[in-house]
Chains A and B, each alone.
Chain A
Amino acid sequence: MTEVGWAKRSVPTRRDQPAVPRRVSRLRFAHSTFLVDRAPFLVACLMLAVLVAIYGALRDGVFTLEELNLDAAASMALLLAATGQTIVLLRGGIDLSIGGMISLGTVIAATEFGDSWTTALPWGIAIPVIGLLVGMTNGLLISLLRLQPFLVTLATWSILSGAALLILPTDGGTLPQGWMAFGNASLVGLSTSVWILLVLFLFWLWFSKTRLGVTIRATGSNEKSAFLSGVSITFVNVATYGLSGFFAALAALYLTTQTGSGSPTIGKDYILPSVAAAVIGGISLFGGRGGLAGTVIGAFILTIIGNLVFVLSVSSYWQPIVSGVILLVAVLASSLAERSARRSVT
């Protein structure tokens, strides 16, 4: 078998070793493995705390409920996209097609929602279903054609962006007023976005314990032994990428409540940040490690960086630069840790 390309290349060295037992034997206490496993997540929490402290020192009213509402609203589209990406990363893959799916979702919403709930509601349900089906197609293609995830999703990214451009060639379209009001409403002092955040947490508490959740994580950490334990890799791929497409579509829907229009090109701005939020929050690019809490922290870090850039009144174009650099540092740290873990075992 010719195993080449990055996704597969990282595999044999890690998978040939029983990673957990040897690491445990090197450490004396059970609680230190707990810390070691969660080190990237804890570093991310620390980073968020420092950033929030800096932000709080620069501006009044940071530690209020209102600020939480604002920040949750600012990071929710990214967070929804990153939730899908987290599931894919846990399985050891990557989904570039969310760039196309988010664009497609916003343009469908902007052209089809119309003015009344009778048209908006069916389409509001149809868009996540479309996302699910598109994602499932990704998973099916990856399994059937035995191709690397990034290749298949790169191709579908292009196809979906094309479809979005066909539906709406330029930014525009309209959404019902009620839809935007729903996205920016508040209940018991908490905005819609904070409620979505809570629902996401509940979803994750449930999902990570389900058979599928455990299977995805197991497949990501060791595909071969998952397969030998009776897991259908095709099913896992279809479910994983299906969920990613579903969450990308939800991100698109949320985005339309904020922008009030559709954009055939907006999705590509979410590809790298979605991976960045997950990786900064401690989800391993090599599969199997991390959870949604990390991704939430990661998304908030990216949002606070955006706020800081605004407060310091430097050019807003600095935000992608800072996020990109932080992402690279996080990835470098995790791949160096990966490498030293390998070395210490051999």
Chain B
Amino acid sequence: MTPFLSRHRAIVLAYLGMLVLLFLTSFFSPGFLSVNHLRTMAVLAAFVGIVALGQTFVIIGGGIDLSVPWVLNCAAILMTLVANGQDQPLIYAVPLILAAGAAVGAINGAGIALFGVPPIIMTLAVNVILQGGILVYTGGTPPATAPALIQFLAVGRVGPVPVVALLWLTLALAASLLLSKTPFGRRLYAVGTSAVVAEFSGVPIVQTTMLAYTLSGFTAALAGMLLTGFTAQAYLGMGDPYLFTSIAAVAIGGASILGGSGHYVGTIAGAFVLTILTGLLPALRLSNGALLIVYGVVILITVSLASEAFSDLAAAIRGALRRAEPQKGET
């Protein structure tokens, strides 16, 4: 194996999995590979991919963000409330809501990095507080429809390419550069690999962790607003599916949930794999419940592939094979 392939084995595998899945699904449902359907898939994958962008950063840093669903949902509802179907208020609403999402992420990061609260508890508690907060604010009734501009961003096209896919591409490039070419990216891998070693090596752990969670809050808020455009209105609970999909996309994309490895390039393949699976299940007459089971199994399989137990097993098998070979020669 060339050095490139062995270094990025997990990511290459994710893309191979995506291609195999595409190939297989085109058998089950003809028309799966038509331009129209591919375009729809790119749009759906973009939403997963954008939420999973922040999640990728958080997971590489050794954490997890379970506050994604209601950050997304709050952003969607606030945007429709403030805009009230008009385009003009978006000029200030969009930046403000993105900033608010980032601020929630920063609070997550501060609790985790400054005060040592376990990430699951911190983000789960923030998730519940946001859920309660938006329910109190709206009184439980969903607000108005999405403004035209947001709808254009979510479902519109520039030539043959969906706008949201272009947006995703831009974000993906930025995220990849951030991970590979900036000090922040290198520090994030260091923190995720070993916080103790990183601290002794002079990595500013608090800033790095906080920035990762801030990004996650930002992308969840962005995805929330875009998703409103896609469904034409915001509704309560719209963020719930994105908890599992964002984590699963990162895991499929080859990042170790234990932190320190992975790349957004892999998450993109993960987002596509999940979107193809989601599209495949109705064709196989499988329901939402089956989808959740598939997500769970996928998370379980991908994380066990990355675990120590699996690499020990692989090493044991390799060792056994090596021992078996000379014996064959002797007899």
Instruction: Kindly identify, within residues 266 to 281 of chain A, every residue whose CB is under 8 Å from any CB belonging to chain B.
Output: 271-272, 275-276, 279
Instruction: Kindly identify, within residues 294 to 321 of chain A, every residue whose CB is under 8 Å from any CB belonging to chain B.
Output: 315, 317-321
List the B residue with the shortest CB-CB distance to A286: B118
Instruction: Kindly identify, within residues 27 to 80 of chain B, every residue whose CB is under 8 Å from any CB belonging to chain A.
Output: 62-64
B260 contact set on A, CB distance < 8 A: 2, 4
Stretch at the interface among B133-141, B155-163, B220-228, B315-323: B133-141
B300 to chain A, nearest CB (A): 4
Binary interface profile of A, 128-151, with partner B (CB < 8 Å = 1, else 0)? 000000000000010011111011
A5 contact set on B, CB distance < 8 A: 62, 257-259
A276 contact set on B, CB distance < 8 A: 125
Instruction: Kindly identify, within residues 146 to 192 of chain A, every residue whose CB is under 8 Å from any CB belonging to chain B.
Output: 146-148, 150-152, 154-167, 169
6 A-B pairs whose Cβ atoms sit less than 8 Å apart in the complex:
A4-B195, A144-B309, A148-B258, A159-B296, A336-B115, A339-B116
B331 within 8 A of partner (CB): no
Contact (A4, B258) CB under 8 Å given A163-B289, A169-B287: yes
Which residue among B287, B294, B299 has the maximum number of chain A CB atoms within 10 Å of its CB? B299
The answer to whether A154 touches B136 (Cβ under 8 A) is no
A231 within 8 A of partner (CB): no
Q: How many A-B residue pairs have CB under 8 A?
A: 162
B120 within 8 A of partner (CB): yes
B291 within 8 A of partner (CB): yes
The answer to whether B116 touches A10 (Cβ under 8 A) is yes
The answer to whether B116 touches A335 (Cβ under 8 A) is yes
The answer to whether B129 touches A4 (Cβ under 8 A) is no
A interface: dominant SS: helix
B66 to chain A, nearest CB (A): 9
B interface: dominant SS: helix
Binary interface profile of A, 94-120, with partner B (CB < 8 Å = 1, else 0)? 101000000000000000000000000
A51 within 8 A of partner (CB): no
B128 within 8 A of partner (CB): yes
List the A residue with the shortest CB-CB distance to B291: A162
Contact (A146, B62) CB under 8 Å given A6-B119, A166-B290: no
The answer to whether A158 touches B129 (Cβ under 8 A) is no
Instruction: Kindly identify, within residues 251 to 284 of chain B, every residue whose CB is under 8 Å from any CB belonging to chain A.
Output: 257-260
The answer to whether A164 touches B258 (Cβ under 8 A) is no
Binary interface profile of A, 69-111, with partner B (CB < 8 Å = 1, else 0)? 0000000000000000000000000101000000000000000
B194 within 8 A of partner (CB): yes
Instruction: Kindly identify, within residues 1 to 53 of chain A, every residue whose CB is under 8 Å from any CB belonging to chain B.
Output: 2-7, 9-10, 12
The answer to whether B132 touches A321 (Cβ under 8 A) is yes
Stretch at the interface among A220-228, A243-251, A325-333: A325-333
Please, how many angstroms separate the alpha-carbon atoms of A325 and B133 in the complex?
12
B304 contact set on A, CB distance < 8 A: 145, 147
B182 to chain A, nearest CB (A): 21
B172 within 8 A of partner (CB): no
A285 within 8 A of partner (CB): yes
Contact (A158, B136) CB under 8 Å given A4-B192, A328-B125: no
A154 contact set on B, CB distance < 8 A: 244, 247, 299
The answer to whether A320 touches B128 (Cβ under 8 A) is yes
B324 within 8 A of partner (CB): no
B310 contact set on A, CB distance < 8 A: 145
Contact (A162, B303) CB under 8 Å given A150-B64, A320-B132: no
B325 within 8 A of partner (CB): no
Contact of B299 among A6, A155, A169, A272 (CB under 8 A): A155
B308 within 8 A of partner (CB): yes
In which size bucket is the chain A interface? 35 or more
The answer to whether A165 touches B300 (Cβ under 8 A) is no
B307 within 8 A of partner (CB): yes
A324 within 8 A of partner (CB): yes
B133 contact set on A, CB distance < 8 A: 321
A291 within 8 A of partner (CB): no
The answer to whether B125 touches A338 (Cβ under 8 A) is no
Contact (A151, B129) CB under 8 Å given A317-B140, A339-B116: no
Contact (A6, B132) CB under 8 Å given A141-B300, A162-B291, A339-B116: no
B292 within 8 A of partner (CB): yes
The answer to whether B297 touches A328 (Cβ under 8 A) is no
A260 within 8 A of partner (CB): no
List the 4 closest A-B pairs by CB distance, nearest first: A165-B289, A162-B292, A158-B296, A159-B296
A35 to chain B, nearest CB (A): 24
Please, how many angstroms separate the alpha-carbon atoms of A151 and B64 in the complex?
10
List the B residue with the shortest CB-CB distance to A338: B116
Contact of B193 among A4, A165, A272, A275 (CB under 8 A): A4
A256 within 8 A of partner (CB): no
Please, how many angstroms separate the alpha-carbon atoms of A167 and B292 in the complex?
13
Other A-B contacts than A145-B309, A152-B300, A162-B293, 17 sampled, CB-CB below 8 A, are A2-B193, A4-B62, A6-B118, A9-B62, A9-B195, A145-B307, A146-B309, A151-B303, A158-B244, A158-B299, A169-B289, A317-B135, A317-B140, A318-B132, A328-B125, A332-B115, A335-B115
The answer to whether A4 touches B194 (Cβ under 8 A) is yes
A316 to chain B, nearest CB (A): 9
B216 within 8 A of partner (CB): no
A215 within 8 A of partner (CB): no
B136 contact set on A, CB distance < 8 A: 315, 317-318, 321
Please, how many angstroms separate the alpha-carbon atoms of A275 and B125 in the complex?
10
A3 contact set on B, CB distance < 8 A: 194
A219 within 8 A of partner (CB): no
Please, how many angstroms separate the alpha-carbon atoms of A206 and B182 in the complex?
57
